[in-house]
Amino acid sequence: MKRILTGDRPTGRLHLGHYVGSLKNRVKLQDEYECFFIIADLHTLTTRPEKTGELKDNIFQMVLDYLSVGIDPKKSTIYIQSQIPEVCELAVIFANLTTVPRLERMPTLKDVMRDADITIPSYGLLGYPILQAADILMVQANLVPVGKDQQSHVEVAREVAKDFNRTYSQVFPEPKALIGEVPTLPGTDGSSKMSKSAGNVINLSDSAEEVEKKVMSMYTDPKRIHSTDPGTVENNPVFIYLDAFGSPSDREQITKYKELYREGRVGDIEVKKYLIKILNNFLQPIRENRARYERDPELVERILKEGTEKARKEAQKTLSEVKKAMKLDYFG
């Protein structure tokens, strides 16, 4: 069975954008592949080195989100990156197979620096793709589900695998990016992307009351002054959310609301109330799953510990093969 490696930086609770963009697909993938889901806490240091005190709770909340949407620890391995010391040793080895100009050409580097208000990248930020390559190759992953903006990172891992195999011996598979049709969910404020830092998110863990409050203040069609004015459905966040989270039984009503909205025969409030109903119907089983796991933190810790132990065994096996290929296995 082919292996997949993907995951997230633990910077806070996950939201509907994460679900649409990746979590929904991960739940499906775990039935087709051997999946490793990394809690990439070391990667948070590249932009937030002073926030390590938040990591423990962020990791717990993220794992609750994983479990609540259907990621099954019996099928998939969830693990904490920083508890695998072998990945850092592997990253040091890979760093010597990659030039600085190659890393400086990464198209995501300037974007990350701009978003984090960084003027000069740290050694760690510049080397982010190398540590990511170590994450991927450590578990011998064949496929890495990513958005198009992260495809270049997987390409670095492919190059590292090729260089290592050519220089020493055939140890690593050459991983490929698995790029799906990942939709981008707009923020509740109408911006192009839902973002925790922008505060325009609906979290998977939000209560029914929080969902109602956020939806009622949601951006719609700025040109529409009165409910009798013809409105625009395209690129309207309310209708994008209706399409993303409405069940098959909701399709007829959603289509009807679109027609009425375009004709100026329904108000924003009525459509938003319908969206609140749909979102709460979608989120309710997730909330129930989350509450069940939240009541048993020892179970969550055990899932993480067992997953990390499994991932570390894979890392130790890989590092042993690497050292043998490099003639660095001095003591057998």
CA dist 211 and 203 (Å) reads 8
CA dist 287 and 64 (Å) reads 10
131 and 145: one domain? yes
* Cα→Cα distances 97→12, 167, 221, Å: 34, 10, 52
- Is 190 within a domain? no
- Is 331 within a domain? no
Total domains in the fold of the chain: 2
Q: Is 140 left (phi over 0), alpha (psi -120 to 50) or beta?
A: left
177 and 28: one domain? yes
- Is 257 within a domain? yes
Please tell me the predicted confidence (pLDDT) of residue 180.
66
CATH code for the domain of 47? 3.40.50.620
| CA 84-293-135 angle, 5° bins | 20
Please name the amino acid found at residue 52.
Answer: T
40 and 158: one domain? yes
37 and 115: one domain? yes
- Is 303 within a domain? yes
64 and 163: one domain? yes
284 and 304: one domain? no
276 and 310: one domain? no
- Is 194 within a domain? no
Does residue 304 contact residue 78 with C-beta atoms inside 8 Å? yes
> What confidence tens digit (pLDDT) does each residue in 163-199 have?
999 999 999 999 999 876 656 789 999 888 888 777 8
- Is 193 within a domain? no
Percent of the chain with pLDDT over 90: 82
54 and 105: one domain? yes
- Is 189 within a domain? no
Supply the range of the domain harboring residue 35: 3-184+297-326
Cβ burial of 321 (10 Å; 0-12, 13-18, 19+) is middle
- Is 225 within a domain? yes
CATH code for the domain of 284? 1.10.240.10
Give which of 208, 203, 233 is closest to 220, Cα–Cα. 233
Cβ burial of 1 (10 Å; 0-12, 13-18, 19+) is exposed
239 and 112: one domain? no
120 and 254: one domain? no
221 and 282: one domain? yes
> What confidence tens digit (pLDDT) does each residue in 210-228 have?
999 999 999 999 999 898 9
81 and 178: one domain? yes
| Position 127 pLDDT exceeds 80 | yes
| pTM as predicted | 0.92
Q: Determine the longest span between alpha carbons in the chain, in angstroms.
A: 80
